[in-house]
Structure 1
Amino acid sequence: MAWWHSSSQSINLEWVEHIAVLLAMAAFAWLVWHVVFGRLVAISQKTKTEWDTILLQTVSTPISVLIWLWPSSYVLDSLLAATAKVSESWLVVSRRVLVFAVILWILLRLVNRIEAYLMKSDTRDQTTVSAMGHILRLLLAVVGVLTALQAFGISLTGLLTFGGVGGLIVGLAAKDLLSNFFGGLMIYFDRPFSVGDWISSPDRNIEGTVERIGMRMTMIRSFESRPLYVPNSVFSSIVVLNPSRMQHRRINETIGLRYKDADKMAAIVTDVKAMLETHPDIEQRSTLMVNFDAFAGSSLNFFIYAFTKTINWSRYHEVKQDVMLKIVDIVHAHGADFAFPSRTISFDKDEMTEAAIPVPEAIQAASNKH
């Protein structure tokens, strides 16, 4: 209380008027900005592009905060000068940091809004967009921290020297975290898969749809609708299959005819191949084969080898079903039929005669039973 009474004696009406003028100017500037911003938003809504709207939404809040904080810093400066008699140098530095912080805030908001806008488009790779967003935010954060430290007079040379030694220690202690981080960067730049892709790994029990690629781990939704969280470093040491990027789906089936239809095999194979060559859902630029293949134990086998135009799993099975039904019609049209596992037993004439003569012991045993 004694300090306040001694300090408040230097607070006069002129100081109060100075504070009031600064706050009034801040309120007037904020009101003008509010009106101008409203007009600019109305104009941007009439344009065909969304970039002007994104820019206005980015700068609206930071500029409003700057309008109030900048005069407030001078108010605080005057108050401290009148009461505490402290140096103004740190307030000058704080104002510089304030301006740079607002600029950094605007840039971060701009990166976030551009990323959200690009992620809504189906024509852009969401994995690349997300990766660039993470990298830009990290870069802006590092630049912001280093600039703030330099503004307050902290030597960056010593800090970087200490950071080199400290970084080595931290790197050894958190090698798994760093390996996951660089594994995420590898996924972003190599792009073996993207968000929405169906992937699987023959090396690990991993299969499902990629929902999110983070800087440390990737979330995959399995076909049982269970989330699977895989560290990014795992993908640098396993084989990843990406069926979502296949160009076609393959039909590879073996069909068996009866041995008694051997004379009809050539005509059936020719008609089946002609059917596949004219089928609207079979890719004609890929390999297409229909050939008599093997003499099996109970059938004569021929195979079909073709690719569908669609890669959709459900549509693929519809096309395959249509092809198989057409093959059934072709086989039946030639008076042939499909084979099933069977076995034919034959006896020589002498063996049949011997088997038909009753054995005396067998006759005696049968009479004893009766």
Structure 2
Amino acid sequence: MDNSMDTLQTYIQSFGYDWLSNVLLITGASLLVWIVWKIVYGRLEALTKHTRLVWDDLLLKAVKAPVSVLIWLWPATVSIGLILTSHTKADTSWLSKVDLILVISTFIWISLRLIHNVEEYILAQKKRDETTVQAIAKVARLFFIVIGLLTGMQALGLSLSGLLTFGGVGGLVVGLAAKDLLSNFFGGMMIYFDRPFKVGDWIRSPDRNIEGTVERIGWRMTIIRTFDKRPLYVPNSVFSNIVVENPSRMLNRRIHETIGLRYDDGEKVESIVNEVRTMLENHKDIDAKQTLMVNFDAFGPSSLNFFIYTFTKTVNWARYHEVKQDVLLNIMEIIKRNDADIAYPTQTLKLEPASLHASQDQSSLIVK
């Protein structure tokens, strides 16, 4: 890289022009190359639109801006070298390292843009789990950034072995100072790999006041939208120490209700219970393969209680309540059809004749 930069500067200076003319010449050449690149890009874009592959479109979009920037910035370093050489006697060998850093940065930029395009394309297809796709994309970005940083440090003349040795000692110090940050990072990794929940899931924790829909899982925190539409920012390390319930992954929703009949309808209880059980077994929205129980349960203070225990086929919250309403209305109809009624709280007072006469006598004495 050093020899190529010196050769290029020497070749440009051989024209005998002053530094301003050389800079204008380089700028004009950059403009010409940029126009050629735009034409070539347009042709390539037209060709990729006629192919069935999507990856060539994603790659072409990824290189568009970085290549355009490189076309302008790389000759600009040559111009800076010519200006410094013409006005000062400063050493311009450092510009070659700038060019190398520029090339490395361009490669990283293209890689990050390509990862972003691929991530957006896969998420738009809605055929893959969103959390998994985002996790792979983040790991890929981190990989290319680390590789780019290490390559750039080596290009600047830094010893990687010494850097790694220093990093071992410095990493311990940083780890102690940033303990919470690292615990959140590894907590996020745990969520990505264990997958107790994903973006879009409804989660809640009986240990903490956490309940809502997961909007985003970041490296440091998870954003949960509560049911009153407020954002809740939870550090990822919290999920390592609490129990998390994921109702979104339930297979069925349960209906568990207790219905009370009047004591006057005692002889009709068995018939009503049997009809309710038959109704549930034939209901189109009840999963008869799951536990289904309808039984006379208890003698209540003012009612004969029987319970229903069954599961709906749907897990949708709104649809579940529609099914539950239909089940309860059918139960009411069955009770009415058997000339029975649902009990309401009542209290019977029984007065003995002796106590009644005693109270009457006491009342008459008080009146006298």
Higher alpha-carbon deviation: 198-207 or 88-97: 88-97
Equivalent of 1:276 in 271, 280, 289: 280
Equivalent of 2:232 in 225, 228, 235: 228
- Find the counterpart in structure 1 of residue 94 from structure 2: 90
Contact 1:201 1:238 in 2 (8 A): yes
Asked whether 1:14 is paired with 2:16, we answer yes
Contact 1:15 1:78 in 2 (8 A): no
Calculate the aligned-residue CA RMSD, in Å.
2.4
Q: Distance in 1 between matches of 2:180 and 2:74?
A: 44
Q: Distance in 2 between matches of 1:353 and 1:40?
A: 109
- Find the counterpart in structure 2 of residue 262 from structure 1: 266
Asked whether 1:212 is paired with 2:216, we answer yes
Residue-by-residue CA offset, 1:18-65 (whole Å, 9 max, x unaligned): 666654443332222101211222333445554332221110011112
- Return the offset for 1:275: 0.9
1:317-336 mapped onto 2 (5 Å cutoff): 317-336=321-340
Tell me the SS of whatever aligns to 2:164: helix
- Find the counterpart in structure 2 of residue 338 from structure 1: 342
Q: Which amino acid aligns with 1:14?
A: G
- Find the counterpart in structure 2 of residue 365 from structure 1: 366
1:35-46 mapped onto 2 (5 Å cutoff): 35-46=39-50
Contact 1:221 1:227 in 2 (8 A): yes
Q: Which amino acid aligns with 1:222?
A: T
Q: Distance in 1 between matches of 2:55 and 2:154?
A: 34
Judged with a 3 Å threshold, the aligned counterparts in structure 2 of structure 1 residues 360 and 211 are, in CA distance, closer, same or farther, namely: closer
- Return the offset for 1:265: 1.8
Asked whether 1:306 is paired with 2:310, we answer yes
Higher alpha-carbon deviation: 96-105 or 279-288: 96-105
Asked whether 1:51 is paired with 2:52, we answer no
Contact 1:183 1:235 in 2 (8 A): yes
Q: Distance in 2 between matches of 1:360 and 1:259?
A: 35
- Find the counterpart in structure 2 of residue 7 from structure 1: none
Using the aligned pairs only, state the percent identity: 55
- Return the offset for 1:124: 2.2
Asked whether 1:109 is paired with 2:113, we answer yes
Residue-by-residue CA offset, 1:333-362 (whole Å, 9 max, x unaligned): 112211222233335xxx415633786664
Q: Which amino acid aligns with 1:208?
A: G
- Return the offset for 1:120: 2.9
- Return the offset for 1:82: 5.2
Tell me the SS of whatever aligns to 2:16: helix
- Return the offset for 1:78: 4.5
Q: How many residues align?
A: 354
5+ residue gaps, structure 2: 1-12
Tell me the SS of whatever aligns to 1:322: helix
Q: Which amino acid aligns with 1:32?
A: V
Q: Distance in 2 between matches of 1:146 and 1:358?
A: 101
Q: Distance in 2 between matches of 1:126 and 1:150?
A: 36
Q: Distance in 2 between matches of 1:358 and 1:170?
A: 88
Tell me the SS of whatever aligns to 1:54: helix
Higher alpha-carbon deviation: 228-237 or 135-144: 135-144
Q: Distance in 1 between matches of 2:320 and 2:141?
A: 43
- Return the offset for 1:122: 3.0
Q: Which amino acid aligns with 2:255?
A: I
Q: Distance in 1 between matches of 2:358 and 2:239?
A: 76
- Return the offset for 1:190: 1.2
- Return the offset for 1:234: 0.7
Judged with a 3 Å threshold, the aligned counterparts in structure 2 of structure 1 residues 78 and 334 are, in CA distance, closer, same or farther, namely: same
Q: Distance in 2 between matches of 1:316 and 1:120?
A: 30
- Find the counterpart in structure 2 of residue 136 from structure 1: 140
Which structure has the greater CA radius of gyration? 1
Tell me the SS of whatever aligns to 1:311: coil
Q: Which amino acid aligns with 1:280?
A: K
Q: Distance in 1 between matches of 2:366 and 2:28?
A: 128
Q: Distance in 2 between matches of 1:361 and 1:141?
A: 98
Tell me the SS of whatever aligns to 2:345: coil
Judged with a 3 Å threshold, the aligned counterparts in structure 2 of structure 1 residues 31 and 184 are, in CA distance, closer, same or farther, namely: same
- Return the offset for 1:175: 0.6
Q: Which amino acid aligns with 1:59?
A: V
Residue-by-residue CA offset, 1:167-211 (whole Å, 9 max, x unaligned): 111111111111111111111111111122111111111111112
Tell me the SS of whatever aligns to 1:120: helix
Q: Which amino acid aligns with 1:137?
A: R
1:155-304 mapped onto 2 (5 Å cutoff): 155-304=159-308
Q: Distance in 1 between matches of 2:103 and 2:284?
A: 65
Residue-by-residue CA offset, 1:219-275 (whole Å, 9 max, x unaligned): 212122222111111111001111111111100111111222222222211111111
- Return the offset for 1:154: 1.0
Q: Distance in 2 between matches of 1:362 and 1:255?
A: 43
Q: Distance in 1 between matches of 2:204 and 2:150?
A: 43
Tell me the SS of whatever aligns to 1:14: coil
